[in-house]
Amino acid sequence: MNMTGNTILITGAGSGIGLALAEEFVALGNQVIVAARSREKRAAAERRGLTTIAADVSESASIAALATRVMQEFPATNVLIHNAAISKREDLVRGGDSQLQEETVATNLLGPMRLTNALMPQLLQQRSAAILIVSSGLAFVRSAFVPTYSATKAALHSYAQSLRFQLRDTAIRVIEIAPPYVQTELGGRSQATDPNAMPLRDFVAEVMEILIRDPDVEEVLVQRVLPHRYAAEQGRENYDAFFRKYHSRAG
């Protein structure tokens, strides 16, 4: 992936990881378009000099409108970053929340799939292109407290692998970014100041360092996510022990 001279669309980039990535890519000489559904978050991004588009990736019609506008107004768009996501705790014993589950799947999984489909013709026309998918360390060791979120991130990891294989003979590179627990408001306001979470700026700085150092990287893994990423490769006993330890801290 080229790190400069791109036109980049980032979903869910009105705050958190998406906004921080947007600012870093602008600093490197890229044009960045921020797609977000919150008017307040779009306004915050605009105050930072970013171009914004209103979009809700949980709705297929909104995705179609977003793709049409991007192709018409930003025909040089060659990088797509799927970052939009929601994460909420669920009590499955009490019956769960079907509406929340459907919204989570629509936003976290169907959104990236639908937007990729819609923009694929555009990306295939570019001399150099990339699709970056923000998954999670929970794609590899799930959190039982956010089961649907964890399931969607595991599915995104699988989807990224399949997409990468099918695009192997094209100019489109597929890169997965798997964050650890980061200080954002994804899981609520308290997460943004949780000392157990990785500071946002530290995370984004390490991500950019990896991308600059290895433009052909397939998975961007900061040091703090490595225990999650490779827990299963240490054997079932180690995985189970890691799962128990993680939930003793996260409960």
User: Which of the residues are catalytic?
Assistant: 149
Strand pairing report for 31-36 and 172-177:
unpaired
Q: Do the Cβ atoms of 93 and 99 come closer than 8 Å?
A: no
Distance, in Å, from the CA atom of 122 to the CA atom of 84, rounded to the nearest integer, reads 21
H runs (alpha helix) in 74-110? 98-105
Report whether 218 contacts 164 (CB < 8 A).
yes
The Cα–Cα gap between 22 and 169 comes to 28
- Which element (helix H / strand E) includes 73? helix 60-73
**What whole-number distance in Å separates Cα of residue 68 and Cα of residue 111?**
15
Cα–Cα distance measured from residue 26 to residue 228, given in angstroms and rounded to the nearest whole number? 30
Q: Which helix (H) or strand (E) holds 27?
A: helix 16-27
